[in-house]
């Protein structure tokens, strides 16, 4: 557990970066610090490992006052990941990952063995070991940065916008990998981001800071979206927070409809016969959706051919049977056919659902929430 008690940081010119910050980052959870530029997110993070010294208040890690330890000793027990990974350009990837074990006195053979184990954990091929950072993509470098932070198996990890410098697709992949790792390892993590969507996706709790380093609200993502503390928090979270909140509402058992399908390699004439409203869903041999085929756009003289990947529209996301209302609605809205595709845990087709059907389920969920809220209010009174 990390605990801030009235922590402040004031610079010699009088600039107040953090102002009387008090909060608790629970053990084995992800606490995300988010807010506008100049709100003291990174300053707060760096005061935990004393890369910046507080000018007031105290910070505790598991009831140990960090000011009573030497900065070097403190930092060796804390993993630290920053933008652009911060790798040593003259060292191989395996030696970058083994940096802290080397500092802790492990011999090279043992440290490199641990580093190679971490390669697999963060999704890096073992043959990257002898490469140098410049030979890796940005996303790969970030994975190395995470591996290096994990090398000494620290109970605490600090992450300062670690995924902000990569493209959106890689960023989404890294976020999912990060959540998987946390599920396996259960670290106490403080994570800084300027992106509210990232904060909501990753955080067990989210701390919204105002400019000047004052805490505006700390809450679970669902609570933050449904009950912002004041207009500042509401404005920062965004006017579409109702849609984001659907990401925390279980869709339950969706009323899916059977959907006619064709397999890759089947005759286009068969696809035309099975189409609904000009669209037919294409699946692979495992009955996993591949995409939609617009049969009306296939010239008649080409109908003697076969269904090929080049003819398939890849638009549309997939909703999982145990997913959220947001996933279900997004699936329906993003589908070129207007029918959202629902799959089971193995990615096999279960059926399709329309946006109108999802909206009906959303209204049912909202009505149930209103009833529960009213009952809770009566009980409290």
pLDDT for residue 187 is more than 90? yes
pLDDT of residue 376: 56
pLDDT of residue 169: 80
Taking alpha carbons only, the member of 184, 109, 110, 189 closest to residue 149 is: 189
pLDDT of residue 164: 81
Share of the chain above pLDDT 90, in %: 44
Give pLDDT tens digits for 297-313.
Answer: 877 666 667 888 888 88
Report CA torsion sign: 345, 123, 186, 206.
negative
Phi-psi region of 3 (alpha: psi -120 to 50; beta: other; left: phi over 0): beta
Query: What is the distance between the alpha carbons of residues 289 and 36, in angstroms, rounded to a whole number?
Result: 40
pLDDT for residue 148 is more than 60? yes
Compute the average pLDDT of residues 323-348: 91
Compute the average pLDDT of residues 367-371: 70
pLDDT of residue 199: 92
Band (374; pLDDT cuts 50, 70, 90): low
pLDDT of residue 370: 64
Instruction: Judge whether 11 and 205 are in contact, CB under 8 Å.
Output: no
Query: What is the distance between the alpha carbons of residues 292 and 299, in angstroms, rounded to a whole number?
Result: 16
pLDDT of residue 253: 84
Exposed e or buried b per residue across 290-326, where buried means at least 16 C-beta atoms within 10 angstroms of its C-beta: bbbbbbeebeeeeeeebbeeebbbeebebbbbebbbb
Tokens of 220: 């679970």
pLDDT for residue 191 is more than 90? yes
Model confidence pTM above 0.85: no
Give pLDDT tens digits for 56-109.
Answer: 999 999 989 999 999 988 988 899 988 777 888 899 999 999 888 887 778 888
pLDDT of residue 172: 85
**Higher per-residue confidence, 269 vs 23:** 23
pLDDT of residue 249: 80
The CATH homologous superfamily for domain 261-360 is CBS-domain (3.10.580.10)
Instruction: Judge whether 72 and 124 are in contact, CB under 8 Å.
Output: no
Give pLDDT tens digits for 167-180.
Answer: 888 888 888 888 98
Band (373; pLDDT cuts 50, 70, 90): low
pLDDT of residue 71: 92
Band (29; pLDDT cuts 50, 70, 90): very high
Q: Does domain 2-244 have CATH number 3.40.50.300?
A: yes
pLDDT of residue 53: 95
Band (375; pLDDT cuts 50, 70, 90): low
Q: What secondary structure, in 3-state letters, does the chain show? A: CEEEEEEEEECCCCCEEEEEEEEEECCCCEEEEECCCCCCHHHHHHHHCCCCCCCEEEEEECCEEHHHCCHHHHHHCEEEEECCCCCCCCCCHHHHHCHHHHHCCCCHHHHHHHHHHHHHHHCCCHHHCCCCHHHCCHHHHHHHHHHHHHCCCCCEEEEECCCCCCCHHHHHHHHHHHHHHHHHHCCEEEEEECCHHHHHHHCCEEEEEECCCEEEEEECHHHHHHCCCCHHHHHHHCCCHHHHHHHHCECCCCCCECCCEEECCCEHHHHHHHCECCEEEEECCCCCEEEEEEHHHCCHHHCCCECCHHHCECCCCEEECCCEHHHHHHHHHHCCCCEEEEECCCCCEEEEEEHHHHHHHHHHHHHHHHHHHHHHHHHHC
pLDDT of residue 379: 54
pLDDT for residue 198 is more than 80? yes
pLDDT for residue 196 is more than 70? yes
> Domain ranges in the chain?
2-244, 261-360
pLDDT of residue 263: 92
**Higher per-residue confidence, 316 vs 264:** 264
Q: What is the mean pLDDT of the chain?
A: 88
pLDDT of residue 363: 84
């Amino acid at each position: 557990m990390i605990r801030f008690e009235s922590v402040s940081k004031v610079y010699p010119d009088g600039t107040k970066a953090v102002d009387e910050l008090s909060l608790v980052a629970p053990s084995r959870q992800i606490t995300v610090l988010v807010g506008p530029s100049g709100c003291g997110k990174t300053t707060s993070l760096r005061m935990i490992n004393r890369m910046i010294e507080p000018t007031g208040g105290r910070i505790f890690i598991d009831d140990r006052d960090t000011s009573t330890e030497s900065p070097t000793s403190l930092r060796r027990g804390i993993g630290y990941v920053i933008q652009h990974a911060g790798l040593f350009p003259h060292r191989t990837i395996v030696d970058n990952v083994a940096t802290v074990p080397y500092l802790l006195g492990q011999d090279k053979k043992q440290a490199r063995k641990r580093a190679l184990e971490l390669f697999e954990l963060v999704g890096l091929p073992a043959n990257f070991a002898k490469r140098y950072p410049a030979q890796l993509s940005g996303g790969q470098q970030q994975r190395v940065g995470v591996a290096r932070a994990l090398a000494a198996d620290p109970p605490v990890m600090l992450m300062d916008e670690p995924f902000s410098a990569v493209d959106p697709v890689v960023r989404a992949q890294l976020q999912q990998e990060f959540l998987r790792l946390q599920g396996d390892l259960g670290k106490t993590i403080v994570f800084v981001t300027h992106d509210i969507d990232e904060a909501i996706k990753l955080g067990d709790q989210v701390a919204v800071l105002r400019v000047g380093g004052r805490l505006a609200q700390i809450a679970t993502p669902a609570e933050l979206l449904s009950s912002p503390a004041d207009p500042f928090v509401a404005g920062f979270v965004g006017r579409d927070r109702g849609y984001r909140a659907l990401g925390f509402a279980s869709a339950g058992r969706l009323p899916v409809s059977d959907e006619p399908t064709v397999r890759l390699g089947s005759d286009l004439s068969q696809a035309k016969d099975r189409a609904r409203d000009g669209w037919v869903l294409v699946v692979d041999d495992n009955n996993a959706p591949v995409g939609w085929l617009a049969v009306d756009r296939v010239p008649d003289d080409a109908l003697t051919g076969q269904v090929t990947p080049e003819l398939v529209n890849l638009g549309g996301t997939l909703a999982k049977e145990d997913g959220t209302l947001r996933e279900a609605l997004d699936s329906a809205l993003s589908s070129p056919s207007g029918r959202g595709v629902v799959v089971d845990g193995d990615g096999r087709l279960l059926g399709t659902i329309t946006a109108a059907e999802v909206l009906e389920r959303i209204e049912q969920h909202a009505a149930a929430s209103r009833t529960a809220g009213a009952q809770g209010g009566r009980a409290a009174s």
